[in-house]
Every structure is written in structure tokens, then in C-alpha cells.
């Protein structure tokens, strides 16, 4: 009897020990899965890679999301922080529209260029519109120039109109990015132009605005959701700025070289620098579904549009 009781106790102890072991293994698996998930997801929970093998894209990073619910359709290196160049202007446009909505400024608010902005206007290497010292320009015409022509000087004047100075506006951009939990963001200019700084050794280094493809997609979604009227500007292929023709760098728009009626694109913004390569944040509404795509680091102007078409095909099919 005593021997049977001892045997029962030993079996019970083994069973208890086995349960404890299985419980520990289960907890360990959960922890490992969490860290694997965390390594492939950004602070916003969006994956770095998702169906990346389904589309062969010759770019550094890309993402496609459903604009309605932010669901990720495709992602390739989408949490990697990379230069975004003039796609920065989408955040500049968002804060301009926000200031107008809050009645801090209006479309008729005027601003005059500084000498520094005039100097920028005279540089043929930078996209811009012709400006004159002492002349006043409305927020409406500067906004159009920033989004259609990708005019850097116009974007800087918008910053002054909204916040009083480029520095104040840059801080506002950073605050907005933090509010949206975009932690892969580095902002140094309001328009996306690279900035040259001297480091502690006296050497000149070039620094650029950086974001991940996911960050850029979130900004684009916020823009078209909160201010859908932006699309009435980003879909314009050609327009005038005080008798100067502006042609949109988004060549997928109707009337431009990469237009295809199968891709009814109505925005949003290209970006190009030596460091960024050819970038493009695109949006298209088809069959009552709006998709936002982001391409970072394409090889050239034509490739950013061809790769975007591949991504749109996959997203809608």
C-alpha cells in the first residue's frame, strides 16, 4: 500500500514537471515569435517585408497599402530609412492645408521671398519657379507650384507663410511625424533638398531627409484622407505660374509621356536626388478601391514609373 502511494506520488510529480516544462517551452516560443515579429515590423506595426517575392521590383524599398484601412498589400524593405527627396513636400502640403483649415492662414495670404530664396531660385540644378525680391505671392500659387512643379523655393515660402520661418516649420514637421509615430524619420529641410554641413573634422558632408517607405505611405494616406482636395492639384499635368509653364514630374498623369488609361493615377509626388535615386509616391482609385504605393531608390526616371505599374498591377489583381 505504501509502495503504491509512493508510485502515485512519483507519477504525479513527473506529470507536474512535464506540464511545467511544456509551459516554459510555450512561453519561450511566444517570446521568440514576438521578437521575430518586432524585428520585421516598425513601431507602427507595419511589416518590412510582405509578399516581397511576388513582384520583382528593381528598387531599394517599396510598399503598397489600401488607402481605406492602411492594410499592407506588398512590402519590400519597407521599414528601411532612405532619402526621400522632394516627396518631403507631401508633409509640407499637409501642414499648409492644416493651417488653412484652422484659419491660421488663407489661400489669399501673401508672402515675399527672402534673398536666400531668391538665390535658390537662380540655381538651375533645383526645381523652382521664377521669383522677384519684394514681390508678394499667394499661398495658393505657391502651393500649386510646390506640388505641380516641385518648386523648392515655393515650398520654403509656404513654410514661412505657415510658421514664420523655415526653422519653425521644420520643427512643426518633426512634431507631426512624432504624433503619427513615424520613428524612421529624419528631417533637415522643408522641401527635400540635401543640406551640406561641416562635421567636427571640418569636412563637408551631405545630409538628406530620410523616411521609410511605410512612413511615406502613412503620410500620403493621412493627406488624401484628411484633405482629399489635394488630389485636384496633384492630378494636374500642366499649369501656369505667372505666365511660366509648369509641367508635373509625375509622368503617369494624363497628357504626359508615361500615361496609360489602365492606370488612372491622380497623384501624388516624385522625388529625385543623387542620394535618393528616383522615388515616387503614387495613388490611384480603381473599382472603388484606392491604393497608395511608394517606390524608393529606383535607378532612373523611367524605372520609377515602370516599377510603380508593376506594383499597381499586383495591388489591384
| Contact criterion met (CB below 8 Å) for 155 and 122 | no
Our answer to whether residue 289 is catalytic in this structure is: no
Single out the catalytic residue among 150, 163, 249, 315: 150
Residue 227 phi, psi (nearest 5): -135, 70
Distances (CA, A) of 103 to 98, 167, 177, 233: 9, 21, 22, 20
Our answer to whether residue 86 is catalytic in this structure is: yes
Eight-class DSSP state of 148: I
Q: How far apart are CA 156 and CA 158, in angstroms?
A: 5
Residue 297 phi, psi (nearest 5): 75, 40
Single out the catalytic residue among 76, 89, 149, 310: 89
Angle value at C-alpha 56, between 52 and 58, nearest 5 degrees: 105
Q: Is 269 labelled as part of a ligand binding site?
A: yes
Q: How far apart are CA 234 and CA 211, in angstroms?
A: 21
Single out the catalytic residue among 48, 60, 76, 86: 86
Residue 232 phi, psi (nearest 5): -70, -20
Q: How far apart are CA 185 and CA 211, in angstroms?
A: 5
What is the SS3 string spanning 27-82?
HHHHHHHHHHHHHHECCCCCECCECCCCCCCCCCEEEEEECCCCCEEEEECCCCCE
Our answer to whether residue 112 is catalytic in this structure is: no
Residue list for the binding site: 269
Residue list for the binding site for substrate: 269
Instruction: List active site positions.
Output: 86, 89, 150
Amino acid at each position: 500500500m505504501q509502495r503504491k502511494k509512493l508510485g502515485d506520488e512519483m507519477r504525479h510529480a513527473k506529470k507536474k514537471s512535464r506540464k511545467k516544462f511544456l509551459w516554459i517551452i510555450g512561453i519561450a516560443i511566444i517570446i521568440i515569435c514576438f521578437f521575430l515579429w518586432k524585428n520585421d515590423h516598425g513601431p507602427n506595426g507595419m511589416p518590412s517585408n510582405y509578399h516581397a517575392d511576388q513582384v520583382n521590383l528593381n528598387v531599394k524599398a517599396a510598399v503598397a497599402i489600401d488607402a481605406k484601412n492602411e492594410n499592407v498589400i506588398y512590402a519590400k524593405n519597407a521599414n528601411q530609412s532612405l532619402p526621400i527627396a522632394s516627396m518631403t513636400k507631401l508633409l509640407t502640403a499637409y501642414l499648409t492645408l492644416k493651417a488653412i483649415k484652422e484659419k491660421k492662414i488663407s489661400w489669399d495670404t501673401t508672402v515675399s521671398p527672402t534673398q536666400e530664396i531668391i538665390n535658390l531660385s537662380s540655381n538651375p540644378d533645383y526645381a523652382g519657379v521664377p521669383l522677384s525680391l519684394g514681390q508678394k505671392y499667394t499661398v495658393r500659387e505657391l502651393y500649386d507650384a510646390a506640388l505641380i512643379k516641385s518648386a523648392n523655393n515655393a515650398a520654403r515660402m509656404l513654410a514661412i507663410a505657415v510658421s514664420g520661418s523655415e526653422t519653425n516649420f521644420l520643427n512643426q514637421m518633426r512634431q507631426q511625424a512624432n504624433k503619427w509615430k513615424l520613428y524612421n524619420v529624419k528631417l533637415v529641410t522643408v522641401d527635400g533638398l540635401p543640406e551640406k554641413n561641416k562635421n567636427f573634422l571640418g569636412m563637408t558632408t551631405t545630409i538628406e531627409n530620410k523616411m521609410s517607405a511605410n512612413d511615406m505611405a502613412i503620410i500620403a494616406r493621412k493627406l488624401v484622407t484628411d484633405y482629399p482636395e489635394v488630389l485636384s492639384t496633384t492630378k494636374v499635368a500642366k499649369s501656369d505660374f505667372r505666365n511660366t509653364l509648369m509641367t508635373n514630374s509625375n509622368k503617369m498623369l494624363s497628357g504626359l509621356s508615361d500615361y496609360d488609361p489602365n492606370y488612372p493615377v491622380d497623384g501624388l509626388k516624385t522625388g529625385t536626388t543623387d542620394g535618393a535615386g528616383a522615388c515616387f509616391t503614387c495613388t490611384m482609385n480603381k473599382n472603388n478601391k484606392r491604393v497608395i504605393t511608394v517606390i524608393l531608390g529606383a535607378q532612373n526616371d523611367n524605372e520609377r514609373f515602370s516599377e510603380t505599374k508593376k506594383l499597381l498591377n499586383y495591388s489591384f489583381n
